[in-house]
Amino acid sequence: MAKKSKTTKAKKTKTVKVPESRVVLVFGECAVAVGRGIEEIANKNGVQIDIDSDTIKYWATKYWKTIPKGLAKSKRGWKVDRRAVLAQAKSLGVQAAEAAVARIGTGPKTCVIGKGDATGASKAISQDPRCQPIPGGGVYCQTNFV
């Protein structure tokens, strides 16, 4: 008599649905933190820093996807993650602003954060050890969310 083969079912991963109102609040906090980073560099260098529309669209699109995924995947919760995530968001603003300021030269004291500055800063932030998908790492700023 032939043995019946056992078929194993793949474990289903529970998808956590994060309320959009929660995402909006966290997204807003992160946007303010990015702005604080930009303002810090503007004040430090005595310049005006603007953000072009492509940069705003890039960051909004990217982080509108990663923030809800981070909220859903986090084992610690936003209350615990908040401090580190907002520090990384501020760092994102600092790095993008520094890249823009570096191009000023001897010209006017106004610069614009372009999409290249934004993508470079986002890449740098995602490679920060605090954002890596390891124990103690963050899930909000990973670049591999699709």
pLDDT higher than 50, residue 143: no
Residue 132 has a pLDDT of 54
Measured from the Cβ of residue 124, the count of other Cβ atoms closer than 10 Å reads 15
Tokens coding 118: 């934004």
Task: Show Cβ contacts of residue 117 under 8 Å, excluding neighbours closer than 6 positions.
Answer: 55, 96, 97, 99, 100
Q: Is residue 48 part of a domain?
A: yes
| DSSP secondary structure letter of residue 49 | E
Q: Is residue 104 part of a domain?
A: yes
Position 107, amino acid: G
Q: Is residue 9 part of a domain?
A: no
Q: Which of 19-28, 37-46, 130-139 has the highest average model confidence (pLDDT)?
A: 37-46
Total domain count, the chain: 1
Task: Show Cβ contacts of residue 98 under 8 Å, excluding neighbours closer than 6 positions.
Answer: 41
Question: 47-51, 92-96, 142-146: which has the minimum mean pLDDT?
Answer: 142-146
Q: Is residue 50 part of a domain?
A: yes
The residue assigned the tokens 């610690």 is 76
- Distance, in Å, from the CA atom of 69 to the CA atom of 81, rounded to the nearest integer, reads 13
Q: Is residue 2 part of a domain?
A: no
Residue 91 has a pLDDT of 92
Query: What percent of the chain stands above pLDDT 90?
Result: 39
The residue ranking higher by pLDDT, 96 or 108, is: 96
Q: Is residue 8 part of a domain?
A: no
Tokens coding 19: 């309320």
pLDDT higher than 90, residue 122: no
Residue 42 has a pLDDT of 95
Q: Is residue 75 part of a domain?
A: yes
Q: Is residue 12 part of a domain?
A: no
Domain extent, residue 109, equals 20-131
**Average pLDDT over the chain, rounded to an integer:** 81
Residue 100 has a pLDDT of 94
Residues 21-48: what's their mean pLDDT?
Answer: 94
pLDDT higher than 50, residue 24: yes
- Distance, in Å, from the CA atom of 45 to the CA atom of 40, rounded to the nearest integer, reads 9
pLDDT higher than 80, residue 80: yes
